Amino acid sequence: MPDVVVCGAGPAGSIAAILLARAGATVLLLDRARFPRDKLCGDTVNPGAVALLHRYGLSHVLDGALPVDGMIVTGASGLRVEGHYGGGVQGRAILRRDLDARLVEAAASAGARVEEEVLVTGAVAGPADGSSSVRGVTVKTADGRHLDLTARVVIAADGRHSRVAQALGLSRHPRAPRRWAVGGYFEQVAGLTTCGEMHIRENRYMGVAPLGGGIANACVVTAARDGLRNPEALLLDALRSDRALAERFAAARLVAPPVCLGPLAVECETPGTIGLLLVGDAAGFIDPMTGDGLRFAFRGAELAADAARDALEHGWRDAHVRLGAARRREFRSKWRFNRTLRSIVGSPSTVRLADRGASLAPGIVRGLIRYAADRRAA
């Protein structure tokens, strides 16, 4: 029986596995996919997340990544603000396909046992030490076998639709707001720079990230679910009908069918229960318009690894409750910031008001760009 089983080998799961294996724990890392695999994301590692990878001794996973100097924000009225991080601070742009595969390799190198094409279907719960707790997970293997795997600590890093968290009633998709993302990779996009882009409109927002080699990631986030029946048409129409993007995407070509993701938001009051810790999107997710999702994943995984290590050494002692407190201390102000932005873009009237305010005081937007990037942590 391993000390820890980690469900999900995305960035949060892999970082947790790396840190625990380095600390001497026996770790089993499971994922339903075989790496490398594609993943819809903004493909941007913000400066704060870059700094965390450096601190973990994992800077090499960003080898070949494109430097990102800041963000360009536009509004419906024609507002355009370019904000640089400054002081030599940069983010990186890298395909999640490459980043995630390199982190899985790092987990294996650290000593974690990696099992791919294993679907975690739920939690094994039952009495332990006189109380009800999670004792492991149920899985379906690539050859169709159903197994129960037990461990002293379970870490669920299996994403927004976490089968473990949802089966135990720990997470949910809120009734509002409900938004969906449609994204794809394009070649021959004109006007790309070393900055990421966010284009905020009254009924949607669009992100563009240059990835080098003439490729860009473009994504639209919308509450208009009807358009999801034809994701490609939705994405192309959003880009080619927008006055700031139409000319730039006129000759652009999708290099693969677009991917649809949603509903995006996930709420989770407590990141776990006895025997179980939640990390990454399984522990909560806010619309990804600020580009800080990977910093939440990396730092949240570090906090979960600390809690798991303490539980292994000293007993559970409400490790999930203490993890929740640690996450609130670490992320509270950034959660509030992101929720405020999410509320603004959810209302056409507040989008118009924010657009006018930004036109009068673009310096505020530049300050928000630096804050969103976790520049102070870099």
- Of the chain, the percentage scoring pLDDT greater than 70 comes to 97
358 SS3 class: helix
Sign of CA dihedral 283, 288, 292, 293: positive
Phi, then psi, of 6 in degrees rounded to 5: -110, 120
Task: Tally Cβ neighbours within 10 Å of residue 191.
Answer: 14
Q: Find the CATH number of the domain harbouring 186.
A: 3.30.9.10
Residue 28 to residue 30: CA distance in whole angstroms? 6
Tell me, what's the pLDDT at 107? 98
Mean pLDDT of all residues in 268-276 = 93
Domain count, the chain: 2
Mean pLDDT of all residues in 91-103 = 96
Burial of 276 (0-12, 13-18, 19+ CB in 10 A): buried
Q: 287 and 215 in one domain?
A: no
Q: 274 and 258 in one domain?
A: no
State if pTM tops 0.85: yes
Q: 275 and 240 in one domain?
A: no
Residue 317 has pLDDT above 60, yes or no: yes
Mean pLDDT of all residues in 300-328 = 97
Residue 354 has pLDDT above 90, yes or no: no
In 3D space, the residue among 297, 329, 325 whose CA is nearest the CA of residue 310 turns out to be 325
Tell me, what's the pLDDT at 285? 79
Residue 276 has pLDDT above 80, yes or no: yes
Residue 290 has pLDDT above 90, yes or no: no
DSSP code for 143:
T
Q: 335 and 322 in one domain?
A: yes
Could you tell me how far CA 230 lies from the centroid of its own chain? 25
Residue 170 to residue 158: CA distance in whole angstroms? 13
Q: 198 and 138 in one domain?
A: no
Domain that holds residue 149: 4-40+96-175+265-343
More confidently predicted of 296 and 132: 296
Tell me, what's the pLDDT at 126? 72
Minimum mean pLDDT range among 149-158, 215-224, 352-361:
352-361
- Quickly state the pLDDT bin for 289 (edges 50, 70, 90): low
Mean pLDDT: which of 86-95, 195-204, 298-307, 361-370 is highest? 298-307
Tell me, what's the pLDDT at 8? 97
Residue 128 has pLDDT above 60, yes or no: no
DSSP letter string over 239-304?
Answer: HHTSTTTHHHHSS-EESS--EEE----BB-SSSEETTEEE-GGGG-B--STTS-HHHHHHHHHHHH
- Quickly state the pLDDT bin for 351 (edges 50, 70, 90): confident
pLDDT digits (tens, 9 = 90+) for 10-46: 999 999 999 999 999 999 999 999 999 998 888 999 9
- Of the chain, the percentage scoring pLDDT greater than 90 comes to 71
Residue 174 has pLDDT above 90, yes or no: no
Q: 183 and 67 in one domain?
A: yes
Q: 224 and 286 in one domain?
A: no
Q: Find the CATH number of the domain harbouring 35.
A: 3.50.50.60
pLDDT digits (tens, 9 = 90+) for 257-266: 999 988 887 8
Q: 234 and 106 in one domain?
A: no
Tell me, what's the pLDDT at 132? 61
Q: 114 and 216 in one domain?
A: no
Mean pLDDT of all residues in 96-101 = 96
Q: 212 and 114 in one domain?
A: no
CB-based contacts of 174, cutoff 8 Å, min separation 6: 265, 267
- Quickly state the pLDDT bin for 355 (edges 50, 70, 90): confident
Q: 319 and 202 in one domain?
A: no
Compute the mean pLDDT over every residue in the chain, rounded to the nearest whole number.
92
